[in-house]
Structure 1
Amino acid sequence: MSRTTATALPRPPLAPDLTDREVHAHELMDDPGCDLDTLRRTYALFRPVNRVVAGWRHVYVRQLRPLLSRTRPTTMLDVGSGGGDVPRAIARWAAQDRLRLDITAVDPDERAHAYASALPPLRGLTFRRALSTDLVAAGDRFDLVTSNHVLHHLDGAGLTTLLADSEALARRLVVHNDIARGTLAYGAFRAATIPLGRRSFIHHDGALSVRRSYQAAELRSAVLAAGADTRWRVTTTVPFRVILHWSPGRDGTPRA
Structure 2
Amino acid sequence: MDNPACDEGMLIRTIRQFRLINQLFSASRRLIKKDFVSRMQPDRTKPYTFLDIGAGGCDTALWFADYCKSKGFPIRITCLDNDPRIAGYARRIIRKRENIELIQASVFDIPRLPRFDFVFSNHFLHHFSDSQIPKILDLMKVKTGIAFLMNDLHRSRLSYLGYELFALLFLHRSFARYDGKLSIRRGFTVADLRQLIARTQNPESFSPGRTFPGRVYITGLQPGDIPANRSIPAHFRRNMKWVKG
When normalised by structure 2's length, the TM-score is 0.86
Farther off after superposition, 149-158 or 203-212: 149-158
> Does the 8 A contact of 2:57 with 2:86 survive in 1?
yes
Decide which of 13, 20, 42 is 2:14's aligned counterpart.
42
Structure 2 counterpart of 1:14: none
- Segments of 5+ residues of structure 1 without an aligned counterpart are 1-28
Q: What residue number does 1:66 align with? A: 38
The answer (yes or no) to whether the contact 2:138–2:200 under 8 Å persists in 1 is no
1:131 has 2:106 as partner? yes
| CA distance in structure 2 between the aligned counterparts of 1:180 and 1:51, rounded to whole angstroms | 17
Query: Secondary structure at the residue paired with 2:78?
Result: strand
Q: Determine the structure 2 residue equivalent to 1:97.
A: 71
Shift of 1:161: 2.0
Q: Unmatched 5+ residue regions in structure 2?
A: 227-245
- The count of aligned residue pairs is 223
Contact 1:68 1:100 in 2 (8 A): no
Distance of 2:103 and 2:201 partners within structure 1: 29
CA displacement, residues 189-222 of structure 1 (integer Å, 9 cap, x when unaligned): 0111114554011100011110000001111111
SS in 2 for 1:246: strand
Q: Take 1:96 and 1:190, find their aligned partners in 2: how far apart are those partners?
A: 36
- 1:240 positional shift: 1.0
Q: Residues 107-145 of structure 1, C-alpha deviation per residue, up to 9 Å, x if partnerless?
A: 111111111101143241111112233231x25100000
In proportion to residue count, which structure has more helix? 2
| C-alpha contact (below 8 Å) 1:76/1:142 kept by paired residues | yes
Say which SS state the counterpart of residue 82 (structure 2) adopts: coil
CA distance in 2, matches of 1:186, 1:43: 20
Give the 3-state SS of the residue equivalent to 2:223 in structure 1: coil
Stretch moving more, 148-157 or 119-128: 119-128
Higher relative contact order (CA 8 A, sep 6+): 1
- The one-letter code of the counterpart of 1:207 is K
1:152-204 deviation per Cα after TM superposition (whole angstroms, max 9, x unaligned): 11112320221111111101101000111111111000111114554011100
TM (norm. structure 1) is 0.82
Map residues 2-17 of structure 1 onto 2, 5 A cutoff. none
- Residue identity (%): 29
Of the candidates 23, 37, 43, which is equivalent to residue 51 of structure 1?
23
Question: Against the structure 1 CA distance between its residues 148 and 117, is the aligned structure 2 distance closer, same or farther, given a 3 Å change threshold?
Answer: same
| 1:224 partnered with 2:198 | yes
The offset of 1:65, in angstroms, is 1.2
State how far apart, in whole Å, the 2-side matches of 1:57 and 1:150 are. 16
Determine whether 1:212 maps to 2:186: yes
Shift of the 205–139 alpha-carbon distance from structure 1 to 2, 3 Å rule, reads closer
Partner residue in 1 for 2:122: 148
Equivalent-residue separation in structure 2 for 1:145 and 1:61 (angstroms): 13
CA distance in 2, matches of 1:237, 1:48: 19
Q: How does 1:16-35 map to 2 (within 5 A)?
A: 29-35=1-7
- Paired with 2:103 and 2:198, the residues of 1 have a C-alpha distance of 31
Decide whether the 8 Å contact of 1:177 with 1:243 is kept in 2.
Answer: yes
Q: Deviations over 1:51-106 (max 9, x none)?
A: 11101221132122122232221101111111211222211211222211111010
